[in-house]
Amino acid sequence: MFATYLRRELSNRKKQSIIIAIGMALAIALVILVNGVSAAVKDAETTALSSVNGVGTDITISKTAKPGSGNQRFAFGSGDQSSASDGSTKLSQSTLAAAMGTATYSSSALKKVKAVDGVSAATATLSLRNSTFSGQIAQGSGTSGGGTTGQSGAGGGAPSGASGTGGSGPSSFNVDSFSVAGITPGTTKVGPMSSTELSSGRYLKASDDGTYVTVLDASYAKSESLKVGSTLTMGGKKFTVVGIVKSTSSDSTTASNTYIPLDTAQKLADLDGKVSNIYVSAASAGDVATLKTALEKVLPSVTVNTQADLASSISGSLSTVSTLVANLGTWLSLLVLAAAFLIAVLFTISGVGRRTKEFGTLKAIGWSNGRIVRQVTGESLVNGLIGGAIGTVVGIAAIVIVNLISPTLSTDGATAGAAGGAGAPGGGGGAPGAAQAASSAATAISLHIPFTGGIVLIAVGLAVLGGLIAGAFGGWRAARLRPAEAFRSVA
């Protein structure tokens, strides 16, 4: 009887059923789409961050740099210059120093981090910048005496050169700058290496400690025409390329141009016992927030960031979409959902009002309040489920359309731990220093909405919720109906 009565009522009140179902369908489709876009944006943020932090990294620990720190200075002594036959002076110097905006702290922090409960793995890195100043100063330029002092900024651009005019003749300078990451050899599960794969050669291994070997980013290697076996000068030392890695994320580059053993990096940068970043993998994804708090207690002077914290550092259209989804999309879907629920509630209550005589009669012949409430709620629930089914189909169709269009979002500028900016003019001739940021610069990421069973669960859940809410109100109205009053009001 329940099912027969329900089916007949719904088919007999088609207009009302259709309106309720359409309202629910629109709301559920919107929620599915917003939820899907939100997941896609989160994926995109993870992609953007994983290129910097590595796939398995849940938390990064860094220290906020003091303003102006990290500027590289060139101090030329007699060993860095030679006289040419035309009387001009040739200068050349390679320095390895902490990247601009990077602060270092004691590597003993790594030991403390590893001792914290909930830490699955951790590794420390030292972000450096290698800058090579080379040039020629014409006779008469002020290069004698105490030497020439210039300054180069560590920035986000590609290595560039510039010429300037000094003294009586033309002078030319070239500043070549690239990023260097000191990493713990043999660590690929957490940290920058975790989001890379080998193109050729090998990763750094434990026995590379203290040696002058390097692994290069594939893009950088290509641009500099370097391959396994080539040599590269960093901090005045020649390094042998033992491997080339490429990003496993959608980013075209990895976190750094070059990777060298951590202790070698510390020694060459004169930063013995110092690190700039610690990458932490949590034992449980659900405990990241707790772990963050524990790490902040152990290391009060550093900044502990989770992936969620770092996501806020992403800018560009990805950030815009993320904000849009988080604000407008969520509120809009909640608003439409509330409106749909309200429509369902009002129609159900009004339907009960129209059926006063019917329910009064059923009560008169002995139907209990519970049975009538179940009947009303059942009708609302089925209405909601029909809306949920239509909404799911519409929502999935919208997801398919978005995925077919595959809009591209960009992440502009710095992401986690990245330092950027144009360099300050050099000393004699004013060579604008520029360097590629440790993290990726403008990165294009295609938005792909993942389709999961969770989406269907959300739709079914909302449909059931909407149906139950409307049914509860309608049932409450029907339950309050006293048969004698029902007949009196109908009369």
Q: Is 12 in the site for other proteins (CB under 8 A)?
A: yes
Say which residue the tokens 């309608």 belong to. 474
Q: Which of 158, 364, 400, 457 forms a contact with other proteins (CB under 8 A)?
A: 364
The answer to whether 14 contacts other proteins (rule: CB under 8 A) is: no
Q: Which stretch, 90-98, 103-111, 366-374, 411-419, contacts other proteins (CB under 8 A)?
A: 366-374
Q: Shortest approach of other proteins to residue 22 CB, angstroms? A: 22
Q: Are 102 and 419 in contact (CB under 8 A)?
A: yes
Sign (positive or negative) of CA dihedral 17, 19, 22, 28 = negative
Q: Between residue 343 and residue 362, which ones bind other proteins under the rule CB under 8 A?
A: 357-358, 361-362
Is 449 within 8 Å of 37 (Cβ atoms)?
Answer: yes
Interacting residue with other proteins among 246, 363, 448, 477 (CB under 8 A): 363
- Binding other proteins (rule: CB under 8 A), the pick from 92, 223, 356, 369 is 369
**Based on C-alpha coordinates, what's the Rg of the chain?**
33
Q: Are 36 and 452 in contact (CB under 8 A)?
A: no
Q: How far is the CB of 381 from other proteins (least distance, A)?
A: 18
Residues 6+ apart with CB under 8 A from 454: none
Taking the complex as a whole, how short is the minimal distance between the CB of residue 402 and other proteins, in angstroms? Answer: 42
Six token digits for residue 434: 């520029």
d(CA 438, CA 427): 25
User: 241 by DSSP, 3-state: which?
Assistant: strand
| 4 belongs to the binding site for other proteins (CB under 8 A) | yes
Minimum Å gap between C-beta 26 and other proteins is 28
* C-beta of 400 vs 484, nearer to other proteins: 484
Q: How far is the CB of 360 from other proteins (least distance, A)?
A: 8
Cβ-based neighbours of 327, under 8 Å, separated by 6 or more: none
Q: Considering only the stretches 9-17, 109-117, 178-186, 262-270, report the one whose residues sit in contact with other proteins under the rule CB under 8 A.
A: 9-17
Q: How many residues bind other proteins (CB under 8 A)?
A: 25
What is the pattern of x (binds other proteins, CB under 8 A) and - over residues 302-341? ----------------------------------------
What's at 480, amino acid-wise? Answer: R
Tally Cβ neighbours within 10 Å of residue 242: 20
Q: In the structure encoding, which two tokens stand for residue 196, read together?
A: 């890379």
8 binds other proteins (CB under 8 A): yes
Interface with other proteins, residue 379, by CB under 8 A: no
What is the rounded CA–CA span in Å between residue 424 and residue 150? 9
Q: Which is nearer to other proteins, 4 or 301 (CB)?
A: 4
Query: What's the CA gap between 329 and 42, in Å, rounded?
Result: 14
Compute the least distance from the CB of residue 364 to other proteins, in Å: 5
d(CA 336, CA 395): 14
The interface region with other proteins, picked from 4-12, 67-75, 205-213, 396-404 by CB under 8 A, is: 4-12
Q: How far is the CB of 389 from other proteins (least distance, A)?
A: 23
DSSP 72-109: EEEE--GGGEEE-TTS-EEEEEEEEEEPTTB--EETHH
From the list 131, 133, 130, the residue with the least C-alpha distance to 92 is 133
Shortest Cβ 396–other proteins spacing (Å): 33
Binding site for other proteins (CB under 8 A): 1, 4-5, 8-9, 11-12, 357-358, 361-369, 371, 482-484, 487-488, 491
